[in-house]
Structure formats: C-alpha cells, structure tokens
Amino acid sequence: GRITAETLMSILRDKDSGICVDAEGFRTAGSMVSVLPRDPALPCVHFFTATPDPSRSVFKPFVFVAGIKPVPQVRSPTFLQDPAKQIPRFQSSVDRRHELYRRHQAALELMEQDR
C-alpha cells in the first residue's frame, strides 16, 4: 500500500508503540512529517505539531518558498483601539490569538472528547 502523510501522523501519535512518549519524565517534544513531491515544480509541504505530545496536537502545514506571502490566518489580529497603545495601557483586553491557533485549540478540544 501507499504510505500517506496521514499514515505517518498516526504513527507519530501512537503511544502504545512507544513512538509517542509521555511518561517517566520524558515527553515527545514535537513531530514533523514532510511531503516531498517527485515533481520539482511542486513545493514541499512540512507538517509540524510545534507542541508537546503529538497525540494531542494538530499537524500544521508549512511551505517554504521564495516570495511567499504570509496568510491572514497566521497573523495576530490588529485593533483600532488597541489596549497596548492606549494610555493608561492595558485597561481592557482583546483576543490576540490568530485564526490558526484558535482552530488548533478547537481541534484539540474535539480530540479530547474522542478519548
């Protein structure tokens, strides 16, 4: 059969095999899966958990190519009335989480419900 990125992600999340470790003072720090296409015209895609315990993390895609423009989903939001820029500072608070982070948290909550 074919091994897919999803297959590798499930292997890296597998605690029973000992690949994903969360015991005895040692924890898997993060995991990465890369898709390297044979066609040189296609970009490589790297999926990172960037968080401890891959069994509870979402693999997020990253592409590294020249001239890439950041997408809005990974930028922290800006605010016209930013509490950090008003005097006195921080008299109110705003949600600075970017869209990718919020979706990661939502996916984590769903994964926790499935346990």
Give the integer Cα–Cα distance in Å for 6 and 12.
Answer: 10
Dmax (CA) for the chain in angstroms is 62
Contacts (Cβ under 8 Å, ≥6 apart) of 46: 32, 33, 34, 35, 61, 62, 63, 64
Query: Would you give per-residue pLDDT tens digits along the chain (115 residues)?
Result: 689 999 999 999 888 888 888 776 777 778 999 999 999 999 999 999 877 788 888 888 888 888 877 777 777 888 888 888 889 988 888 988 888 888 878 887 887 787 6
Token pair, residue 112, equals: 């926790």
The helix (run of H) or strand (run of E) holding residue 48 is: strand 45-48
| pLDDT tens figures, 11-22 | 998 888 888 887
Give the integer Cα–Cα distance in Å for 48 and 28.
Answer: 13
Question: How far lies 7's CA from each of 3, 14, 90, in Å?
Answer: 6, 11, 46
According to the model, what pLDDT value does residue 30 have? 82
Token pair, residue 97, equals: 């989480």
pTM, to two decimals = 0.64
| pLDDT tens figures, 20-44 | 887 767 777 789 999 999 999 999 9
